[in-house]
Amino acid sequence: MDMSFSGLKTSVLTYVNSLRNEGGQEALTAATPDIAACFEQAVVDVLIDRTMRALKSRCIDRVALVGGVAANRRLRETLAEAAETIGARLTVPSIALCTDNAAMVAAVGAHQFAQGSGGGRVDEGYDLDASPRLSLPGLQASRPA
């Protein structure tokens, strides 16, 4: 399922610009918490709707919420409620483990550097080959007890 929030982002930007033009910076500052909460709820609603549709259409009874977005309290709570209503099991890591890709890339780099396999000097060039299925030899996944 492809998703795009470009229309929502454009709508919010249009509203913000309109509010700033009509009421000034003070009006925008006062409305910012409400704008953010409404944006968050709209995104959560879409994510929940799409997730529930996918679970039902594929007869899946388990779902995992991972990555940086899994730290969002509203999404965690709403998805837990939605999953429960259809009898699906939701797995969510602790907040401390809800990191984004940049943190994971940095962790891999630190591991490779510590192992002496982090490549050469930084100034040797910047050519990179993407490897979406990169494995980390010698690094085992740890599971909570």
52-105, pLDDT tens digit by residue? Answer: 999 999 999 999 999 889 999 999 999 999 999 999 999 999 998 887 777 777
DSSP string spanning 2-67? ----HHHHHHHHHHHHHHHHHHHHHHHHHHHHHHHHHHHHHHHHHHHHHHHHHHHHTT--EEE--S
0.95 exceeded by pTM: no
Q: Which domains does the chain have, with CATH numbers?
A: 6-97 (3.30.420.40)
